[in-house]
Amino acid sequence: SRPGVLPPWILAPKESAPPILSALYEERPCLVVNKPAGLLTQAPRGIDSLEIWVREYYRNKEGKPADANLYVGIVHRLDRCVSGAVTFTRHVRAARKLATQFSERTVGKAYWAVVEGTVAPDEGTWQDYLHKRHGMAQAEVVSADHPAAKHAVLHYRVRGRTETQTWLEIELETGRTHQIRVQASSRGHPVVGDGQYVSTTPV
């Protein structure tokens, strides 16, 4: 790893969400877009979300009226506080095919996180048992014999460091609620700016 190196987005000035959809890739019924931090992937009616942005994108592209009932398939999600690539589809068949690929883990996904403190060694695997707290959007580490415990495994590699923070590239072997955030925080390395899991570093 290279001392003093963090990803450019952690060093850049904080900006508000872009007013228009940022499309990264589009081929036939598949659309990959950049979800900004602070925006829900999907939300109940009346709450802003990336899904609404995608519907508006298709309405404009296809010349549909504002009240048109457009199908938009969501095959995976990112937490509200997370930015990154999210895939949508325009047709049910494409959504089903992609959902199968995600569930069978034939799609490669890498996550970047800047966490507090010095993570060592430079590569490793974290294994825990997690429990999603009832009625709350929050998870916690529990013992293996907890009745609702679910095994959580991730693999990480250090990409850069400063004196106080570490930039990690992470591959999830399991997909639990807030898995990266919970596992990192439980080791004393909360994701920078994640106050829900005891980060004390503002962003």
Report the DSSP beta bridge partners of residue 172.
154
Q: Cβ distance 186 to 141 under 8 Å?
A: yes
Asked whether the beta carbons of 185 and 198 are under 8 A apart, the reply is: yes
Note if 79 is an active site residue: yes
Pairing label, strands 2-3, 150-161: parallel
The per-residue pLDDT for 1 is 46
Dump pLDDT digits (tens) for 171-199. 999 989 999 999 999 999 999 989 899 88
Check 48, 67, 79, 145 and give the catalytic one: 79
Please state, in angstroms and rounded to a whole number, the distance separating the CA atoms of residues 91 and 103.
Answer: 18
**Average pLDDT over every residue of 92-121:** 93
**For 127-184, what is each residue's pLDDT tens digit?**
999 999 888 889 999 999 999 999 999 999 999 999 999 999 999 999 899 999 999 9
- Whether residue 83 contacts residue 111, with contact meaning beta carbons closer than 8 Å, is answered with no
Q: Is the pLDDT of residue 2 over 60?
A: no
Nearest to 150 by CA among 124, 126, 177, 171: 177
Task: Please provide the DSSP assignment of 147-193 as one string.
Answer: TT-EEEEEEEEEEEE-SSEEEEEEEESS--TTHHHHHHHHTT-PBTT
Is the torsion defined by CA of 133, 139, 140, 146 positive or negative?
positive
| Residue-wise pLDDT tens digits, 62-102 | 999 988 889 999 999 998 889 999 999 999 999 999 999 98
